[in-house]
Amino acid sequence: MSSSPLLDTLGRPLGDLRVSVTDRCNFRCRYCMPRERFGKEHAFLPRAELLTFEELSRVVGLLQGSLRKVRLTGGEPLLRKDLAELVRMLAESSRVSLALTTNGVLLPQFAEPLARAGLARLTVSLDALDPAVFAAITDAGYSVADVLSGIDAAADAGFKRLKINCVVRRGLNESEIVPLARHFHGSGHVLRFIEYMDVGSTNGWRPEHVVSAAEIVERIDRELPLEPLERSQPSDVAARYRYRDGGGELGVIASMTKPFCGDCSRLRLSADGQLFTCLFAAVGTDLRGPLRAGASDEELARILRQVWESRTDRYSEQRNEQLLRPKRKLEMSYIGG
């Protein structure tokens, strides 16, 4: 594919590809995979329906002239067997920066192999430090200590500047905002708070559950004074702040109150090979079919180009402008965060 910028209908360049490698997870977080919907009877994707590492590597190779970053997601991506081998294949065959988002509990086992394979960056999800709050959110047999051990293991493996993501839901974990800020202040890691989003249809989202980015910053600033920073890239989703005392940096993602659709550069590939041009998409474009039917690189590149060049999505802006009717949305565990 040409190295010239690939632009959608609104002039937004393709920059990032998010690749879901599995729809399975070992957590049952309330905002993503509530247990009453994703219990023992839930039918996850059969292994044969997942894109192989070779297929994933081929897609990334076709897009690499347009990409600056590939992020591996899930589900929980570390549940995908031999994931470090996929990282190695992507690192050897492409020039893009490789990142991964995880809940962290398997990092003591996998951080070092991932680093050796060529993974550049890690993001760890942690929504609470209080054990009871953490248990209420994750609904799984893991503890805060398990996640913190994973973060330490990643740092020991060479990932010195991790991103730590916290989704804030009012009535559940807004009390954790300042404790988390204190914990990671001076750590060298970048804590990021995310407004609770209306992704999917099973998490019971309501507007009153949203704690705004402005409130999050105000709560922290009262305890640990902050000052704003410029975004590193126009397409970066987080507003950046630094502690005035030199204790590092944090970010706030205002996806609900200050949508950033105008700068969105993300294309998403589900574990079973569906391409989506928005986190809030209802339908995708099948890529697995052509891949397994023997499509040439030129034919696949044409599909990829057409998907992006016909992209019109700006869901979050339209939602705030009250231009959208309710529709079925894909679950975050399927499409990746």
CA-wise closest residue to 254 among 272, 232, 237, 235: 237
pLDDT at position 2 over 70: no
How confident is the model at residue 95, as a pLDDT? 86
Question: Which domain CATH number covers 310?
Answer: 3.20.20.70
**Do residues 16 and 63 lie in contact, with contact meaning Cβ atoms separated by under 8 Å?**
no
The pLDDT > 90 percentage for the chain reads 74
Q: What is the pLDDT of residues 175-196, one digit of tens each?
A: 999 999 999 999 999 999 999 9
How confident is the model at residue 132, as a pLDDT? 97
Residue 167 lies in a domain: yes
Residue 10 lies in a domain: no
How confident is the model at residue 321, as a pLDDT? 62
- Identify the band that residue 320 occupies on the pLDDT scale cut at 50, 70 and 90: low
pTM: 0.92
Residue 1 lies in a domain: no
How confident is the model at residue 127, as a pLDDT? 97
Task: Give Cα separations from 294 to 55, 280, 288, 298 (angstroms).
Answer: 11, 30, 10, 11
Angle between helix 107-117 and helix 83-93 axes, rounded to 10 deg:
20
Per DSSP, 198 falls in state: -
pLDDT at position 199 over 60: yes
**Do residues 167 and 191 lie in contact, with contact meaning Cβ atoms separated by under 8 Å?**
no
d(CA 76, CA 314): 27
Determine the length of the chain.
Answer: 337
What is the count of structural domains for the chain?
Answer: 1
Query: Would you report the helix, strand and coil content of the chain in percent, each value rounded to 5?
Result: 35, 20, 50
Give 40's contacts (C-beta < 8 A, 6+ positions apart): none
Residue 3 lies in a domain: no
Q: Looking up tokens 């591996």, which residue turns up?
A: 72
The pLDDT > 70 percentage for the chain reads 91
Q: What is the pLDDT of residues 251-295, one digit of tens each?
A: 999 988 887 788 899 999 999 999 999 888 888 999 999 999 999
pLDDT at position 233 over 90: no
**If you count DSSP H runs as helices and E runs as strands, how many of each does the chain have, helices first?**
11, 12
Residue 11 lies in a domain: no
The domain of 51 spans 16-335
Residue 5 lies in a domain: no
Q: What is the pLDDT of residues 128-183, one digit of tens each?
A: 999 999 999 999 999 999 999 999 999 999 998 999 999 999 999 999 999 999 99
pLDDT at position 324 over 60: no
**Do residues 78 and 21 lie in contact, with contact meaning Cβ atoms separated by under 8 Å?**
no
Cis peptide, bond prior to residue 75, ω within 30 of zero: yes
**Do residues 1 and 66 lie in contact, with contact meaning Cβ atoms separated by under 8 Å?**
yes
Residue 324 lies in a domain: yes
Per DSSP, 12 falls in state: P
Rg (CA), the chain: 19
Residue 4 lies in a domain: no
